[in-house]
Each structure stands twice: as C-alpha cells, then as structure tokens.
Amino acid sequence: MREAKQLPRNHPSLEGSNATRDGIIIMSLDQNIALPARIVTTILTSFKIFHTYHVIWQYGGDMTDETIPANVRIMPYVPLNDLVGHPKTRLLVTSADNYHQNLALYHSLPILCIPLQPVQRQNARKTDRRQHGLVIPPENLTIKTFVQAMKKLLFNDTYCRRLEQPSRMMKMKQPASQRSMVEWIELSLANNFDVLKPYAVHMPWARYAMMDIALLVAIVFGNAIFLVANSILLGMRRVWDIYGRRRLPGMGQSVNRLVKPVLPSTTVTPIMKIPGSQLSPTTTLTATKSFKQQ
C-alpha cells in the first residue's frame, strides 16, 4: 500500500464529479465473475437514488441493456489506490477480497461488502465483526437493503472513527533494526496496541475454559451411558424371565425332575371293632400310599 497520488481534474474517472456536492463512491467487485442481470439492475437503480454522489464503478461486463444513471461512471479499469485515497471519497463497495479490504483500511474508508465467493464471505464476516463496514449477501441484495446499508455507512461517522487506528498502524513506517527497547516502548505508548492483544484476553472465563463444550460432551456421553446400561439391564431381566425361573442356578437339571411329589396321608377310622383285631374304634389308622413317578 502507498499514499494516494493526486489525480488530474480531467481524469476520465472524475468526469462529472464537480457537479456532485456530497462526495465519491467507489465500487469494484470481482472482475472474474459476470454479475447476474438482477444484481446489476438493483445496483444501478440504487445509485440513481444517491444522485448527489459521483459513483465510479470498475466493471468490464456488458451494459448495453441497462440504463446507466447520469451520476454513475462505469470503466473497465480505474486507479483504485488513488481514487480510494481521494479526499472526496466516502465509501467503497467491494466483493470483500483481501486487496480491497487492505486498501480501505489503509485509507480509513468504510466498506460495503457483497461477497461473491466463499473466501470473500469469510473476509466479509471479519469486516462485520470488527465493525469496519456492513455485509449484504448477493441473495439478499435488493434496492431496499442496498440503500439502507449505504445510508448507514455514509451518514454514520462511527465506522470512520473505528478505522482511524488500523489506518494509522498500517501507515506507520517499519522501524530500523537498531532501535532500542526504549524507542519500542515509546512507540507502543504513542499508539494504542489493544488490537494486537489476543482475542482470549477479552473472552469470558467460562468460554475461555470451554465449559460449554465440556458440558455438551458430558451430556452426550451421559445419555449414551444411560441408554447402554438400561439396555443391558432390560436384556438381563428378559433372559432371567425366560431361563432363570425354570432352572436352578448352577445345575443343568430342571426343578421338576429333582423334586418328587408327595401325596397327603389318608386317615381311616373304623366304625366297629373287628374280631381278632387289636384296633379300637378310637384308633386312627394312617395309610400312606407311595406312587412311583413314571
């Protein structure tokens, strides 16, 4: 990155910029991807609303079927570094690639990201998380969302203030290797280096210790152990119901073959005394019959 050079007033990209009083908007998406007609029409219609801004769109696609507003200048190539660093430039609309992001950071310019590729989506999320700009996915791009995002970035100075420190750090010259420790300390005190601190410093202790992940793992393993133990107990109970009640533990023979049935005793009381017998009427005779088990 380098400082922007002053462009001449008659530069093709700046033609008509004197008639706009509010500033310049730069737009540069991925040149290797042909934009759908819906996105092109949506962008041009939205730029027409900002008629007080001079829009420079770096695009090499076909525009024969589109109505280009008077404040929009479409060119296949423009000096981006010099235009982004122009004093009147207010916004950069980009597809969130690394070059455009670093360019906007260097010149302290808010970014409106329209990511077209997966890698660009990741860069756009970083821009949104650091509050250096806004993100509009291509599938959610409408005139309403595009105009609202541009108004928020153009009329809110918060984004520019957040970009001042990263821009100052990028513009800082690399120190010579002979600098002493005192000079390094003075350099650190002169510039707030909080952005260089690791993200873990600002994390809550529970998240730093990964308590949420540990709790999730404990719940999953606890449920798994409970289900396995319950299945084993149910299986053992079923086996006992089928085999355990018919067999004695440790023996191969069934209970019915080991235990013989015993018939109850029969009591006979004679009514009269039999001649020659020694039994009296009060004598109780007990006859027991034994049956051999077949």
Q: Are residues 141 and 224 in the same domain?
A: no
SS3 helix, strand, coil % of the chain, rounded to 5? 45, 10, 45
Q: Are residues 92 and 205 in the same domain?
A: no
Average pLDDT over the chain, rounded to an integer: 77
Pairing state between β 285-287 and 111-113: unpaired
Q: Which residues contact 172 (CB under 8 A, 6 or more apart)?
A: 191
pLDDT-derived band at 223, boundaries 50, 70, 90: very high
Residue 267 belongs to a domain: no
**Does residue 247 sit in helix, strand or coil?**
strand
Q: What is the CA radius of gyration of the chain?
A: 46
Number of domains comprising the chain:
2
Q: Are residues 93 and 26 in the same domain?
A: yes
Q: What is the dihedral of CA 89, 91, 97, 99, to 10 degrees?
A: 20
Q: Are residues 58 and 101 in the same domain?
A: yes
Percent of the chain exceeding pLDDT 90 equals 18
Residue 7 CB burial class (10 angstroms; 0-12, 13-18, ≥19): middle
Residue 163 belongs to a domain: yes
Residue 268 belongs to a domain: no
Q: Are residues 137 and 204 in the same domain?
A: no
First to last CA, the chain: 108
Q: Give the pLDDT confidence of 259-290 residue by residue, as tens digits.
A: 455 545 544 454 454 555 554 444 444 444 44
Helices 118-129 & 98-106, crossing angle to 10 degrees? 30
Q: Are residues 43 and 144 in the same domain?
A: yes
pLDDT-derived band at 294, boundaries 50, 70, 90: very low
Q: Give the pLDDT confidence of 31-62 residue by residue, as tens digits.
A: 777 888 888 999 999 999 998 898 999 888 77
Q: Are residues 116 and 204 in the same domain?
A: no
For the cut 70, the answer to whether the pLDDT of residue 248 exceeds it is: no
pLDDT-derived band at 170, boundaries 50, 70, 90: confident
Integer angstrom CA distances of residue 262 from 76, 221, 257, 287, 288: 112, 57, 13, 13, 10
Q: Are residues 225 and 114 in the same domain?
A: no
Residue 274 belongs to a domain: no
For the cut 90, the answer to whether the pLDDT of residue 77 exceeds it is: no
Residue 255 belongs to a domain: no
CATH number at residue 161: 3.40.50.2000
Q: Which residues is 27 bridged to in the sheet?
A: 57, 93
Residues of the domain holding 229: 197-241
Half-sphere exposure of 221 (CA within 13 A, CB side): 6
Q: Are residues 66 and 114 in the same domain?
A: yes
Residue 101 belongs to a domain: yes
Residue 178 belongs to a domain: no
Residue 37 belongs to a domain: yes
Q: Are residues 163 and 82 in the same domain?
A: yes
Structure pTM?
Answer: 0.58
**Does residue 47 sit in helix, strand or coil?**
helix
Q: Are residues 130 and 16 in the same domain?
A: yes
Q: Are residues 166 and 221 in the same domain?
A: no
